[in-house]
Amino acid sequence: MTAHAGRYAPSPSGDLHFGNLRTGLIAWLFARQSGRKFLLRVEDVDSQRSTIDSAHRQIDDLLTLGLTFDGDILYQSDRSAAYQRALDRLRAHGRVYECYCSRKDVQNAPRAAHHVPGSYPGTCRELDDAERERRREELAAQGRKPALRLRADVDTFTIQDRYHGEYTTEIDDFVLRRGGQDTDWAYNLAVVVDDGFQGIDQVVRGEDLLPSTPRQAYLGSLLGIPAPEYVHVPLVVNQAGQRLAKRDGAVTLREMLLEEPVHHVIGKLAESLGYPDVFTLHKLLQVFNPDDLPREPLVWR
């Protein structure tokens, strides 16, 4: 759709907090400094956890902060047909199979010593048609549907990251569409298809997503979507070292704005990037240097 673009892609499951804003701001700085477009995508692929009200509040917050976006906002909840097309394409190449395992089955499955905890050991990969039919009926009787998994043909995949360099993980047969009662598309599929569709060639996001990135890049390679430039940035954490969350108190933009004007919030964000005494996005755009970004998680207060 668009050539040379970065993006911010929040999940609308609550108000944006300081950590979300910081990541969004860094993504904006990277895109704007490199002359890219900057697109906003609402990652509401998880229908259980997303609300449209939350999406609208997040968009308002980003505009309040002064971030600017190009083009239309893309909602993942509108993208089912595109995800289905990607699935069909993978299926046509024999790369999709049904999986009847529950989460517990996956946790308890025996696996070779080198497997990463939580990775899928391939339990349903080689079942014959009769066994599949039996397992499908078993699930249907419980009102559940099988998940769909990727039949991966590599053991590992390597990506390049601006701050982490060469980064490799094991590639398992990860989920493309979730099973159970609801059959939402998996985030790993949605993000790859959407980044491809939107012409995203620079992905700046929280470091918590780094471990999923080789899977996404591998899936992209199967779908003919080139890997973007990856920039995974440190998270903001609480005193206990956990990812900042609402329960940490007064962390959302809305809460902060009850106490202070928006330029103070921008000041705090700028300071957290190493620029005290900067209170406008305009100025921050002039002084921001990606090489100076602190590499450690930022401890909130």
Q: Which of 5, 9, 25, 29 binds ligand GLU (CB under 6 A)?
A: 9
Q: How far is the CB of 263 from ligand GLU (least distance, A)?
A: 25
Does residue 67 interact with ligand GLU by CB under 6 A?
A: no
CA distances from 125 to 96, 99, 101, 180, 295 (A): 9, 8, 11, 18, 40
Question: Binding site membership for L-glutamate: which residues?
Answer: 7-11, 43, 187, 205
Does residue 162 interact with ligand GLU by CB under 6 A?
A: no
Q: Which of 43, 61, 173, 184 binds ligand GLU (CB under 6 A)?
A: 43
Does residue 217 interact with ligand GLU by CB under 6 A?
A: no
Amino acid 219 reads L
Please provide residue 232's backbone torsions phi and psi, each rounded to the nearest 5 degrees.
-100, 125
| Burial tier of 130 (Cβ tally within 10 Å: 0-12, 13-18, 19+) | exposed
Q: Which stretch binds ligand GLU (CB under 6 A): 8-16, 100-108, 238-246, 251-259?
A: 8-16
Q: Which of 5, 6, 11, 207 binds ligand GLU (CB under 6 A)?
A: 11
Between 4 and 49, CB nearer to ligand GLU: 49
CA quadruple 86, 88, 89, 91: dihedral sign:
positive
Question: Binding site membership: which residues?
Answer: 7-11, 43, 99, 101, 120, 124, 187, 205, 246
CA 281, CA 263: separation in Å to the nearest integer? 9
Query: Can you say how many angstroms the Cα of residue 269 is from the centroid of all Cα atoms in its chain?
Result: 22
Note the residues at the interface with ligand GLU (CB under 6 A): 9-11, 43, 191, 205, 209
